[in-house]
Amino acid sequence: MKTLFDSRFIIDGVAEELTPAQMLGRNRPPVDGEPIVDETVDPAILSFEFDEDKISSYLRLVKKARPELQFPLAAQYARARLAGVLIEAIWSHGHFTLPELSVGATWSWHEQGIGSMSALYESVRAVSEYADVLDIGFSSVACEDGGPEIEMKVPQAAGRAIPATLNPDPESWIVYVPFDTEEYRLGGSLLAQALGLKGGACPQVDNPDYLIDCYEVVRELVEDRIAISGISVGPGGLMCALDKMAYKGVGADLDLSDLKRAYPGSDVVRLLFGEVPGVIFQIRDDDFDYLDAEFILQDVMYFPLGHPKKEKGINIRWTSKPAIGSILESLVR
């Protein structure tokens, strides 16, 4: 669908200088003809209320849902797609750094009323600007009729270096690293979609410099086999990723207290189902001090969540008490 990507756009009355293809590094002239004219549509302002006692039922709903691109959230969705496909490559065999990767990207799109063409343009702009800071190039770009959807892949990814499922060692640690500093919000998430909720605020995914720092330290842990299993956190959030890691009677006992204290504005449902890109990985207990030193050196946040258990199910607990209060309480017990 070359014509759409090579067309000029007028968005909200402003003639855009570059075509979508040009923003993605394709140096070719615009097609002749009238520009595509559209306007942006703002997301509905909603306040979601969720029940922390329904985490299991929310997970069942999320596992049946599929990601859906909403036009007002297209830029955020596109950045999350790019971050997600790069993070998924972190588990691959071989030696590589983030700038050595490239991405193949395909937009499935067609005109679907006010806001659809603006969403296309803004999603391309968001991806190109995010990739530019990451120093990531595009091996291929395409636009075809359909969607709306954005599909991406990393051609260099070559099989997993470590498994995505938990090792049953009960002394080992399960560690969570968000690859963005964004607040946990549920607008546009699988959980919101499963509950029929449209609009609302979602993670912006707009800190590529922080993703670079996170990527460097986690990739080193994978290459050096310090990480013994790992999985990406994307659609469905932290809870969905944890559920995928558990298998065949191997579960986990987890404590979200440190994560909750780090994000005091987010309740547990948002922390578990908010789709901030990141990773969960497992390390042996003997490697914990090394891990701590590496993350401190890179100035990257990480959250030890707990340990595997040799029985089915994921047990999650948390407290809102200050850290010192929790320590004193444990000493009293």
Segment 10-69, tens digit of pLDDT: 999 999 999 999 999 999 899 999 999 999 999 888 777 899 999 999 999 999 999 999
Residues 6+ apart with CB under 8 A from 206: 76, 79, 130, 180, 182
Is residue 154 domain-shared with residue 280, that is, in the same domain? Answer: no
Binned average pLDDT, 10 residues per bin, the chain of 333 residues: 86 97 94 95 84 96 94 97 98 95 96 96 98 97 94 95 96 98 94 91 95 98 97 97 92 97 92 97 98 95 97 91 49 39
Q: What is the pLDDT of residue 44?
A: 85
Contact 142, 107 (CB under 8 A): yes
Q: What is the pLDDT of residue 322?
A: 65
Segment 283-294, tens digit of pLDDT: 999 999 999 999
Is residue 223 domain-shared with residue 101, that is, in the same domain? Answer: no
Amino acid, res. 122: E
- CA gap 176, 266 in Å, rounded: 16
Q: Which of 161, 193, 223 is the last residue of a domain?
A: 161
Residue at 75 is within a domain: yes
- CA gap 11, 149 in Å, rounded: 20
| H helical segments located in 114-184 | 116-134
Q: What is the pLDDT of residue 69?
A: 94
Where residue 220 sits, what CATH number does that domain have?
A: 3.90.650.10
Residue 236, phi-psi category: left (phi > 0), alpha (psi -120 to 50), beta (remainder): left
Is residue 178 domain-shared with residue 149, that is, in the same domain? Answer: no
Residue at 242 is within a domain: yes
Handedness of CA 69, 25, 211, 161 (dihedral sign): positive
Residue at 101 is within a domain: yes
Is residue 150 domain-shared with residue 281, that is, in the same domain? Answer: no
Residue at 51 is within a domain: no
Q: Which of 99, 130, 161 is the last residue of a domain?
A: 161
Residue at 248 is within a domain: yes
**Angle, CA of 169, 173 and 174, to the nearest 5°:** 110
Is residue 136 domain-shared with residue 20, that is, in the same domain? Answer: yes
Is residue 207 domain-shared with residue 97, that is, in the same domain? Answer: no
Is residue 156 domain-shared with residue 195, that is, in the same domain? Answer: no
Residue at 281 is within a domain: yes
Q: What is the pLDDT of residue 325?
A: 47
The domain in which residue 99 lies consists of 1-38+69-161
Residues 6+ apart with CB under 8 A from 44: 72, 198, 199, 200
**Assigned token pair, 133:** 């800071």
Residue at 54 is within a domain: no
Is residue 166 domain-shared with residue 120, that is, in the same domain? Answer: no
Is residue 247 domain-shared with residue 296, that is, in the same domain? Answer: yes
Q: What is the pLDDT of residue 332?
A: 40
pTM: 0.93
Is residue 5 domain-shared with residue 30, that is, in the same domain? Answer: yes
Where residue 102 sits, what CATH number does that domain have?
A: 3.30.1330
Is residue 128 domain-shared with residue 203, that is, in the same domain? Answer: no
Q: What is the pLDDT of residue 49?
A: 84
Residue at 47 is within a domain: no
Give the count of domains, the chain: 2
Q: Which of 161, 180, 213 is the last residue of a domain?
A: 161
Is residue 153 domain-shared with residue 197, that is, in the same domain? Answer: no
